[in-house]
Chains A and B, each alone.
Chain A
Amino acid sequence: MNEIIKMTATELAEKIKTKQLKSAEVVQAFIKRAKETDSKIKAYMEITEEYAMAQAKASDEKIASGKETGALEGVPIAIKDNILIKNLRMTASSKILENYIAPYDATVIEKLKNSGAVFVGKTNLDEFAMGSSTENSAFFTTKNPWDTERIPGGSSGGSASAVGAMTAPLALGTDTGGSIRQPASCCGIVGVKPTYGRVSRFGAVAFASSLDQIGPMSKTVEDSALLLNVIAGYDKKDSTSINKEVPDYVKNINKDLKGLKIGLPKEYFIDGLDTDVKKSIDETIKIYKSLGCDIVEISLPHTDYAIAVYYIICCSEASANLARYDGVRYGFRAECDNLSDEYKKSRGQGFGPEVKRRIMLGTYALSAGYYDAYYGKAQKVRTLIKQDFEKAYEKVDIIMTPSAPTPAFKIGEKSADPLQMYLSDIFTISCNLAGVAGMSVPCGFSKDGIPVGMQLLSKYFDEEKMFNAAYKYQQATDFHKQFPRI
């Protein structure tokens, strides 16, 4: 059984389809592992054992009767708890949704159900996906499986930790400013933010509508490519999803990289970069050179403004997206005798401090007299950031950067000063503002044995190239074959 939890999703899908393994035993193995580890890492809001075993049983019956099966038939996956699965609780790790039962399936969930995947649990996150450490969850903090005194990253810390600790081979996260890539980097796994519009947002709790994407998380690059095959695609329920065919992201993943031009943005390789991170990235560059790639220095001149632009935009959009949580139709309602109190007490008590801080910031940025200086201006600088990327891709095929400025820091280290926490998003944030695709791949360990990640960024809808570059790199390294000792 130890073997099962170390298998990749690709291997498991194959073995289950060919009846070498039963989905029920696979799912049991992962759930057992989840139960064993969760007291230590607390990745899960809820392990949905009954639900999963029923799905596993159905998959096994399907396979036994020779019926047509899906790409992930019988394979377990953990789902970040801001994605709706019908009739299951969905909390967004917030008190305001503590007892909310989802009335419908997110589109990605429908797609996963059609592919035969099995939902082993809902994972913890920073409340409403606002945070970079999962310390903002209203219920508990998830731990990094490599060192339980450290953060797993955020906001998809639960999903990252769940995969990192081998309690599921796959997970879904959401990424608005790096919330898939940064925790993937912290936990030594692969995490992908697809191009904006590639995956439907219908059924994911909205944080910042023009930045959010749902994406895959897994141990290996191939697994994430397999998962993206399933969840990507046009959704008529999402007006921002693109009507463009989904290629097979696995098909050309092993193509020769010779001649691939990789850009290193000089603004991301500043003096003072953490030594562990610098060392791992330098090694990464060497490996890519050995694979026949051309390394080119590029510039993304407006990088310095990315965090400011991001926080204005995401908080403004969030302040509107979170207005619906008022205790009237669903969610926490405070005891009151008049409507005015009912709104401000329900929201005041139901939301945590980071959420309230961002709503305040966003409301301020949109309020009368401030729109032009803040939101209006930020949207214009965003255009410049987009143009930086578009110009860069005229010179190179792929951009490579560190995923985070440091390996996972200790729990509590940055929670006193919100601005300090925001500044740690520097490498992942521009990708969301531009809308391009990005992924984090494990590229080393710090002296303390904590994972380090490197980030690849491809231009719009060029995920194939990104997966190819990541896969060949992963084949040339063994970081993905290492497991935490938890």
Chain B
Amino acid sequence: MTRDNRLAWINGLLLPLFNVLTAFMVTAVVFILIDVDPIVATKILIYGALGYEEGIGYTLYYATNFIFTGLAVAVAFHAGLFNIGGEGQAYVGGLGTALVALYINPAISAWLVIPLGILGGLTFGALWAIIPGYLQAYRGSHIVITTIMFNFLASALMVYLLVHVLREVGQMSPQSKDFPDAAWIPFVHDIFASMGYKIADSPLNLSILIALIFSVLVWFFLWHTRWGFAIRATGKSPDAAIYSGINPKMIIIVTMCISGALAGLVGINELMGVQHRLLLDFNYGYGFGGIAVALMGRNHPVGIIIAALLFGILYQGGMDLAFEMQNVSRHIVVVMQGFVILFCGGLEYLYKPLLTRFLAPIEASE
């Protein structure tokens, strides 16, 4: 094995693995501190997420959201941008999807309505991200601060629209009227039923296929197109990118546009897939969860799908865990997210000195 190979192996696999394991171990310590046996808790969690049909359905349904926001954060990371605004972009993207679903002629076929709804989510999510992108590229404002501010702006905008504009007449709670049938993305259990197989009802719907398709598209875009190369080059070395003729301002805007569009797809799964109406806080936590997913998945679509699955398991298993054990609430997942971001993100170099020292003698013997 050459030195470069081994370094890649350490950086790409061993370090992230150590980091994730550390995050889990620290979470286990939290379990012990609140008087819960971490092994028993893990068993309940895994059974809750994967032990029965309904649980698996929920796990995959949560994972779908995490794939969208994880991809969103990852694309931005590749250009060296930190998009904290996934939360807001998912929210406003959902507005785009809902507007299509609510105002389109309900007689139009679902084959047209659903793609238009996806387009609505992509467009609105992208628009909400392009403004911070533009401000970073041409006005020098820091993308992190602007996207945080835009999360709050999105939240206020949605509350205003749902309370004053889109609320169903005669309805007390702030939510829109139901989407027409043509705007419902089919549930997986309905599809199975139509083929003669009976599986348990769950919110899992065909959005998961859309998520997988977009994972492939992101992979192709980043590693097999000119724009993808330009984005990665800018992220690796902005100066070198400029010398090779890449316009960094354009890269920022294009990257944010794609990142926001991907986050904007959360509404497809949540609104067209499950809720079938626009409501408050359907995006809650997925934008920030996407940061953990992208960091854990090393910003690669395959890694992101795996990390999203893991977070889907944690979300669904966490619900069951909270139900079974009175000392735990589902917020243990939030704690775990925090540790994953801390150890895979902030402390990503924690073990580097240790591993380098450990491997030095082997290297010297060659």
Chain A complexes with chain B: no
Binding site for B on A (CB under 8 A): none
Binding site for A on B (CB under 8 A): none
